[in-house]
A and B are shown apart, each in its own frame.
Chain A
Amino acid sequence: MTSPANLPEERIGVYVCHCGSNIAGTVDVEDVAQWAAGRLKHRGVVIARDYKFMCSSLGQEMIEKDIKELGLTRVVVAACSPHLHENTFRTACKRAGLNPYLCELVSIREQVSWVHTDKVAATEKSKAVVSGGVERVLWHEPLEPLRVPIHPATLIVGGGIAGIQAALEIADGGSPVYIVEREPSIGGHMAQFDKTFPTLDCAACILTPRMVSVGTHPNITMLTWSEVTKVDGYVGNFTVTVCKKARYVNTDLCNGCAVCQDKCPKKIVDEVFEAGLGYRKAIYTPFAQAVPKFPVIDRENCTYFQKGTCRACEKFCPTGAIDFNQQDETITLQVGNIILATGYDLFDPRRIPHYGYGRLANVFTSLEFERLSNAAGPTNGKIVLRDGVTEPKSVGIIHCVGSRDRNYNNYCSVICCMQGLKFAHLVKERTGATVFNFYIDMRTAAKAYDEFYQRVLEEGTLFIRGRVAEVTDAARLHGEEGKLIIQVEDTLASKQRRIPVDMVILSAGLQPRRDAKAVAKLFGISCSADGWYIEKHPKLDPVATMTEGIFIAGCVQGPKDIPSTVVQGAAAAARVLGRIQQKEIALEPVRASINQDRCSGCRICNNLCPYSAILFHEDRMVSEVNPALCQGCGTCVAACPAGAISGTGFSNEQILAQLEGLLMLNLDGDGRMPVKVREAVAI
């Protein structure tokens, strides 16, 4: 058992938390505290206490009082995960005049009481965990946090409503914002919608003024038709490379008159904005109110680019803005923080072949219906069948398509119930058709949502509880000819039903963007098993990520409706503004450093560092770590054959001491696991 030289002077306090019954229900916390006070006394433990809620102000005050009155030099708290409360207890130590880094929080909740059921074994493991913490804390050194300046500019990736909200909040707060959008215009999915539930205000009416504000705001730089290709650096000082694709339109000259779009002879099905229901030209803006107003030329479909002739747009452009020689541009941005608001993709209902989408003409996706019912859409808001003229007399709306289904996505997509109700209302209002909604459970849990459900019920929409088995055009019964038949088990009436309708709308779920994983990798954050980005804490820190300086907002974090998306956009902006206002951020002082007297100059560490933080001094033949570049992974520490590199916060001594503590080598001196412990574990 190794001991630091100053062991005899150390005075350690051990604090074991009950966490109500969360820990105390499985671990005998009094026993753990008493054990630590008795068996770890020779390791410097002078006091060990248990308390109901150590993180409460009373619990913290108890620790502070002990530090002052008993002269504690180190503190070990056995409670929840350090990811939750490490800072709480460090701050308490700091208030009592102890360097915060002389406190160690060990987890006996997430790693013991919540995952084990055997009380005796859980109590014994808790003792081992506390013992590991005591040994580790003996090797802690007083440290100061690293202070990093925050660049005042912010990058927002994604120009949907989440990104727009965040951009406006930050820009109004007086800081510069870059907003990068992959499509030619900002607006996102919301720009495609007709009405928004439950108030039924038109999406464009509430969204486009905000888009215009983004476009004209002096603090916002818009980079549309652009994508982030590279991210370097860290919180406070990211260097972001953006590829600005060639528009083939000189935006200094273009006045947005749209003559080019009228004159372009090439019509293409618009799979993005019109969801495949309408056409656009080869030179286009996705919609009339697009921001910016400048069109782009779709090179793949442009007659000039493909065949070398045409140039109609160039000929008719009144300002001479068309520039076929434009090249993709690479732009480098310096930003302090990044907000990812890249949204979602609609679940592709082709994956459920028995619902007939793509095979049966009059089966529509929710996004197609949005375009159909949108006054600015391809039918000018007329709800008609795929033939473009016939009004449906009966419509079936199927909920939970691709959601709450173990074959596709297990999660609830949150918006589909309300979306289905909205569609029911719009169909009824505009066509008077009979509307059936097929649902598993009706989920209308938000302000004024259930009232909207009641309203749709009163309007006479029919609700059938049951997951639809099939949508088919194979008529079996009289009256089914020429119709789409919805086969469903009505679970309230306990019978099988076949319901013939003219039109089927699939209330498809939301899923992560196709490239969500690649984008997560680019920005150094993680995805959940479903592919949504993981927040730092699901309840208390929903817009931050584990990577400092990268925030998330909107559906990229999980399915949500527009109000919640706006809330997250604003929340992420508030976090960023707070950072900018503080001008600097305190980071964990976990860094490597090289003892140059021990360095043999072998240079093994040089190539291991992914940040090129290790310099080699040719003159003195030694390596040195640049602390500004070092991120503290510790790979070089592990690799140095001379043991010349040490890592603060995670030194060899700290790790090995914790290891010996966990194995209870501190209880007796013969260097082996005491037999008693083995027996205890065996129970």
Chain B
Amino acid sequence: MTEHEHFEPVIIGFTCNWCSYRAADLAGTARMKYPPNIRLIRLMCSGRLDPTFVLKALSAGADGVMITGCHPGECHYIEQNYKAMRRYQLLKRTLTQMGIEPQRVKLVWASAAEGARLTEEITKLVEEVRALGPLQWPTSLNGHGARPAVETTGAVVSAKEVAA
């Protein structure tokens, strides 16, 4: 019995319109099953993923984030998934520096034919995040509890929102 046994994580999934969103459609058509903890957002490409979306998701209540895209070499827009991959590597380092378990954010390649793979990866991530427990924003940044840390990242996003 683990301490997080009854904890149901909330996962936000970013999907590419051309591959992983279609894989999710395929998983549905084939009636494959995965836990209801994930909620998907469709982007045109994994290259569209601004890393601050992930920080925003985590600061706004998600316990984990899945980023999905076409397999390397199969991007609908030639090579933009490589950019997503690079941003993901940087993001993981940033998360570590912020004191958040980088395993909460996962990059998965899933082609339009890989409904089964997506199903499997979602199931795995939900279990992994469940084992990590609810996301606790680190308090060590300023010693005043979790909220300021949230607002710090929130500020990053809002600055962008204002600018955009």
- A positions within 8 Å CB-CB of B: 2, 81-83, 107, 109-112, 114-118, 121-122, 124-125, 128-129, 132, 521, 524, 526-529, 534, 546-547, 590, 598, 608, 610-611, 631-635, 637-639, 642-644, 646-647, 649-653, 655-656, 658-660, 662-663, 665, 671-673, 678, 681-682
Q: Does B27 sit within 8 A of A, measured CB to CB?
A: yes
Other than the given A655-B41, A663-B57, A663-B60, 17 more pairs (CB < 8 A) read A81-B25, A81-B28, A110-B29, A115-B28, A117-B33, A132-B39, A529-B114, A546-B76, A611-B77, A635-B48, A635-B80, A635-B83, A638-B87, A644-B163, A650-B44, A660-B60, A663-B62
Which residues of chain A come closer than 8 Å to B8, judged between CB atoms? 678, 681-682
For B43, B51, B114, B154, the residue with the greatest tally of chain A CB atoms inside 10 Å of its CB is: B43
A526 contacts B157, C-beta separation under 8 Å? no
Q: What are the interface flags for B31-53 relative to A under an 8 Å C-beta threshold, 1 for contact and 0 otherwise?
A: 11111110111111101111101
Q: Is the CB of A111 within 8 A of B41?
A: no
B92 adjacent to chain A (CB < 8 Å):
no
Task: Report the interface size for chain B: residues with CB under 8 A from the other chain.
Answer: 62
User: In the complex where A638-B49, A658-B41 touch, is A118 in contact with B28 (Cβ < 8 A)?
Assistant: no
Q: How far is the CA of A655 from the CA of B10 in the complex (A)?
A: 17
| CB-based contact A534/B112 at 8 Å | yes
The interface residues of chain B lying within 8 Å CB-to-CB of A637 are 48, 50
B22 at the interface (CB under 8 A from A): yes
Q: Write out the residue numbers on chain B whose beta carbons fall within 8 Å of the beta carbon of A647.
A: 44, 48
Question: Do the beta carbons of A643 and B39 come within 8 Å of each other?
Answer: no
Q: Is the CB of B163 within 8 A of A642?
A: yes
Q: A678-B8, A678-B10 are in contact. Are A546 and B50 (CB under 8 A)?
A: no
A122 with B53: CB separation less than 8 A = no
CB pair A662–B27 under 8 Å, yes or no, is no
Q: For chains A and B in complex, what number of residue pairs have CB atoms within 8 angstroms?
A: 177
Chain B residues 120-164 with CB under 8 Å of chain A are 150, 154, 157, 159-164
Residue of A81, A115, A125 near B31 (CB, 8 A) is A115
Pick from B50, B61, B76: contact of A638, CB under 8 Å? B50
Given contacts A81-B25, A115-B33, A650-B44, contact A529 B50 (CB under 8 A): no
Q: Are A633 and B44 in contact (CB under 8 A)?
A: yes
User: In whole angstroms, how far apart are the Cα atoms of A293 and B146 in the complex?
Assistant: 79
Residue B18 at the A interface, CB < 8 A? yes
Q: Evaluate contact between A633 and B80: CB separation under 8 angstroms.
A: yes
Specify which of B19, B37, B80, B150 is in contact with A610 (CB 8 Å cutoff).
Answer: B80
A110 touches B74 (CB 8 A): no
Interface residues of B (CB under 8 A from A): 6-8, 10, 12, 18-19, 21-22, 24-25, 27-29, 31-37, 39-45, 47-51, 53, 56-57, 60-62, 73-74, 76-80, 83, 87, 111-114, 119, 150, 154, 157, 159-164
Chain B's closest residue to A679 (CB) is B8
The answer to whether B36 and A122 touch across the interface, beta carbons within 8 angstroms, is yes
Distance in Å from the Cβ of A600 to the closest Cβ of chain B?
A: 11
Q: Is the CB of A114 within 8 A of B31?
A: yes
Q: Are B61 and A672 in contact (CB under 8 A)?
A: yes
Residues on B with C-beta less than 8 A from A634 are 43-45, 47-48
B39 contacts A128, C-beta separation under 8 Å = yes
Q: Within the complex, which residue of B42, B78, B164 is in contact with A82, where a contact is CB–CB below 8 Å?
A: B42
Q: Chain B residues near A663 (CB, 8 Å)?
A: 10, 12, 39, 57, 60-62
- The complex places the Cα of A290 from the Cα of B42 at a distance, in Å, of 50
Complex Cα–Cα for A524 and B36 (A): 33
Q: Are B77 and A526 in contact (CB under 8 A)?
A: no
List the 3 closest pairs (A to B, CB-CB), nearest first.
A110-B28, A643-B163, A673-B61
Sample (21) of A-B pairs whose CB atoms are under 8 Å apart: A81-B28, A114-B27, A116-B33, A132-B39, A521-B74, A527-B113, A529-B114, A546-B112, A547-B76, A610-B78, A610-B79, A633-B47, A635-B45, A635-B47, A635-B48, A642-B163, A643-B164, A652-B164, A659-B41, A659-B60, A663-B62
